[in-house]
Amino acid sequence: MIDTGEVGRIPAQPGQMTQPPPQSMLQFASDRRNAPTAATTSWTTSEDRVRLAATYTCFDDLHSPVPLPADDNVTVVERRGPPPVPGERRDERIGSVVAERYRITEKLAIGGMGVVYRAERIGLGRAVAIKFLRSHVVHDAASRARFEAEARAASRLSHPNCVAVFDCGLDGDVPFLVMELVVGRTLRQILDAGPIAIPRALDLVRQILAGLEHAHAHGVIHRDIKPDNILVWTDGVREHAQIADFGLAKISEGDQLALSHGVLVGTPNYMSPEQTLGLRADARSDIYAVGVVMFELLAQQKPFRAAKMFDTLRMHREAPVPAFAEVAPDRTIPAAIERLVRRALAKNPTLRPASAAAFTSALDLAESDAIADTDEESVIEMLHAAGEPRWGRVLALSTILAALVAYAAVF
């Protein structure tokens, strides 16, 4: 059930239905749907269209044995619209001050468990995102535990490829989390926009691995790596990818990993074989999820898909990884890259790259092998694949051509 909250809703007269204004909407993105769902969000009077992407995964399919609503993953795309009409009901948090230092300015996203607002750090003018538990789950022990786990996990991290958490606390009896506000798109939105050129895909994978290497080094296992939890933005020179939503993360304490054995945690399309059985997840489980994301970036589809969720879980454990030539015959994926993807998707965790750093090193080697085995004409054709920004083509082309020259000089 989609809860659009109170923002933007006009009180209905007797006998009338309440209709959301048509010019502002939320797009709900999840792996279980193809089409976005329209709902209502806050207004802006800006003359320019503004796109703000903030992802909040409220619950994943298997975090609880009880099936949860399909609208858990919420991505906001804000579009300009008219100002509120007189008498319109507004969210009471908007305009309020939290912890005497954060002024709430607008609602960004809402889901089954939480709601995210844009706020300003008073005195500094810094824009941040603040995530609150929703009132109906404030006193639910499991929801509070997950929220607190996210705060503990994310607060350990400080890396360009991880969304930063600045602060946390209580507003009355409601927990909140203050995070970096990322202006951009989710990797899911980028995938939905069309094919991604190979060099761009590999660059995004490298950045995800860099964020995971940092998280793992600080004892944090994400356990829910997927395109919806990767935020991508550009500074005008290059793209930056950041890992978001550590709500399912677990923290290692010494040699012990805090886990709930026997409980399936994650998103079915991206769960490692061991996760599908409720077994212990470690860094190699995140490596598997990156392998799934990498496959999807290169092939424009997931490696394992089934009509029923439990069939998808079984495929992760039993089905062979499909060949790129079968699922993406129109794309030329270098053999060295395909071998690495298959390695990352090994059913046995011991056969995967042992760490994010090892995965990155293997990716560098695979890309070098791919360059050595690829003629210049094919390289140029690959770089002109749909979806590659102009600056990305220039950078990648110059890098690969330089490597070709160096390789020819040595051999």
Tell me the C-alpha distance between 204 and 230, whole Å.
Answer: 10
Burial of 185 (0-12, 13-18, 19+ CB in 10 A): buried
pLDDT for position 90: 73
**Number of other residues whose CB lies within 10 A of the CB of residue 400:** 20
pLDDT for 195-239, tens place per residue? 999 999 999 999 999 999 999 999 899 989 999 999 999 999 999
Going across the sheet that includes 230-234, the strands are 185-186, 230-234, 239-243
Going across the sheet that includes 73-76, the strands are 26-27, 73-76, 55-57
The average pLDDT across 49-73 equals 31
Instruction: Name the more confident of 163 and 110.
Output: 163
pLDDT for position 108: 87
pLDDT for position 293: 98
Residues of the chain with CATH 1.10.510.10: 185-363
Bridge partners of 186, per DSSP, are: 231
CA angle 45, 46, 50 (to 5 degrees): 120
**Number of other residues whose CB lies within 10 A of the CB of residue 351:** 13
Tell me the C-alpha distance between 268 and 310, whole Å.
Answer: 8
Q: Is pLDDT above 50 for 4?
A: no
The average pLDDT across 282-303 equals 97
Categorize the per-residue pLDDT at 258 as very low, low, confident or very high, splitting at 50, 70 and 90. very low
Share of the chain above pLDDT 70, in %: 64
pTM above 0.75, yes or no: no
Q: Is pLDDT above 70 for 69?
A: no
Residue with tokens 């006998």: 15
CA angle 363, 265, 327 (to 5 degrees): 45
pLDDT for position 265: 76
CA-CA-CA-CA dihedral for 177, 179, 182, 185, to nearest 10 = -40
Q: Is residue 224 flagged as an active site residue?
A: yes
- Among the residue ranges 81-85, 132-136, 301-305, the one predicted with the least confidence is 81-85
pLDDT for position 252: 59
Q: Is pLDDT above 70 for 251?
A: no
Q: Is pLDDT above 50 for 10?
A: no
Share of the chain above pLDDT 90, in %: 48
Residue 269 tokens read as 């399309």
pLDDT for position 401: 52
Tell me the C-alpha distance between 243 and 105, whole Å.
Answer: 25
Q: Which helix (H) or strand (E) holds 250?
A: strand 250-253
Tell me the C-alpha distance between 59 and 143, whole Å.
Answer: 9
Query: H helices of 129-197, where?
Result: 141-155, 187-193
Please give the DSSP secondary-structure letter assigned to residue 19: -
Q: Is pLDDT above 90 for 302?
A: yes
Judge contact between 55 and 229, C-beta under 8 A. Answer: yes
The average pLDDT across 293-298 equals 98
pLDDT for position 124: 92
The average pLDDT across 364-386 equals 66
CA angle 121, 127, 132 (to 5 degrees): 80
Please give the DSSP secondary-structure letter assigned to residue 342: H
Bridge partners of 241, per DSSP, are: 232
185-363 falls under which CATH superfamily?
Transferase(Phosphotransferase) domain 1 (1.10.510.10)
Residue with tokens 């395909």: 338
Query: H helices of 194-227, where?
Result: 198-217
Highest mean pLDDT among 7-16, 129-138, 256-265: 129-138
pLDDT for 35-48, tens place per residue? 333 333 332 333 22
Mean pLDDT of the residues in the chain: 74
pLDDT for position 65: 29
224, 228, 282, 286: the catalytic one is: 224
Tell me how far CA of residue 120 lies from CA of 47, 232, 407, in angstroms. 21, 22, 52
Please give the DSSP secondary-structure letter assigned to residue 162: B
